[in-house]
Structure 1
């Protein structure tokens, strides 16, 4: 049964759940970063897919907690803004989880054990850099949430520009790889989707980071 204490304490509990959700998403990203290029067994991929259920559960729990809190005690305008922001951030985390699932499903759909044997080293290196930058963006955003400074990190925006540049470069590199090895066309073509999913992950992180601006003005003491 939901036990109501005071608004500020309940708000902190929701904040803590949101951070836990972000940390779970970061764990997903760590596990999916090389899943296309390196050899992974079916159970490895399946476990990654199943972890998305945990992310979805976090999303439902946070939304339910917020709605329940609002129904029990009408929030002040700044409190309502904070709660709305947290709901949106949870949804952005959930969408990152969806993109991780998309990447993992590509592994299953291609039926290739390790794509690094079918693409150039240039693509493989660029793809891993793209993944790492996205992970670093999320890490910086989570640091702000964990320290409760709740302010946007301008470096996240700059890093997203790096991801966009890598995305554009890798699109062209996939085309070059396909031209160089047309017999590998069916195996390499899904990488267009893979880099798009990573680019979208970075976009969702940017959205979370931006929502932190102004949120630190709320008095949660």
Structure 2
């Protein structure tokens, strides 16, 4: 980012970037802790994540207010304008990441009251991919690193493939034993929340490219979510 004649303009842009990085850090932590609470069946930890969602909402509003003030008072152009517009997009994506993490935590509170019947290992493995994507988008934004953002964008397909595997596995458990339906239904929603966070990480990667280069991605986003068309054969004897 080039220096401007008016020092306060540079400072306002830097404050906006800092707000986005704070927002991203809290969203990243919320996802990590939500999955940890799920694995530990820790309802208290999950409840704390839900309560902290208001902090994310407040930071999102702060980022939007900072961006609007820059537009109104500074009339930025070129790369500065892309940063301000991109910041609004990023704030909304990060706020949604926090919402999905809170949703995971809410489902975890319910699951903690049920017998531990189904392994959450596949969801944990899927989540690790998404957590790494989210971390890398924030690192890419902080370092103006378009190549790292591109690598995140290309990993969206891995998340879809992991989600498809989880989806089929949970459907099979439900068909094997009706007592599995309730916990598996909650786990299906959790897996979908994780998959959606991966989509938002990919959105962030696209926005970073726009901010740095003024370009959209050069090809369509890779997608492998075929769960709407999944056909699961019933187990033998069912």
TM-score (norm 2): 0.80
1:75 paired residue number: 76
Q: How does 1:207-218 map to 2 (within 5 A)?
A: 207-217=203-213
Displacement of 1:146: 2.2
CA-atom RMSD, angstroms?
2.0
Identify the residue that residue 117 of structure 2 maps to in structure 1. 118
CA distance in 2, matches of 1:44, 1:78: 41
Runs of 4 or more consecutive aligned structure 1 residues displaced over 4 Å after TM superposition: none
State whether residues 137 and 159 of structure 1, in contact with CA within 8 Å, keep that contact through their aligned partners in structure 2: yes
Following superposition of structure 1 onto structure 2, how do residues 1-221 of structure 1 map, counting pairs within 5 Å?
5-41=7-43, 43-110=44-111, 112=113, 117-119=116-118, 121=119, 124-149=120-145, 153-217=149-213
Aligned residue pair count: 209
Paired with 2:150 and 2:79, the residues of 1 have a C-alpha distance of: 24
SS in 2 for 1:118: coil
What is the TM-score with the length of structure 1 in the denominator? 0.86
Q: Counterpart of 1:189 in 2: which secondary structure?
A: helix
Q: How far 1:5 moved relative to its partner?
A: 5.0
Larger relative contact order, structure 1 or 2 (CA cutoff 8 Å, min sep 6): 1
Task: Structure 2 unaligned segments of length 5 or more: list them.
Answer: 1-5, 215-238
Is 8-17 or 91-100 further displaced after alignment?
8-17
Report the more deviating stretch, 165-174 or 141-150.
141-150
Report if aligned partners of 2:37, 2:45 keep a CA contact under 8 Å in 1: no
- Point out where structure 1 has 5 or more consecutive residues left out of the alignment: none
The CA deviation string for residues 23-59 of structure 1, in whole angstroms up to 9 with x for no partner, is 1111111101133342213x32221011111111110
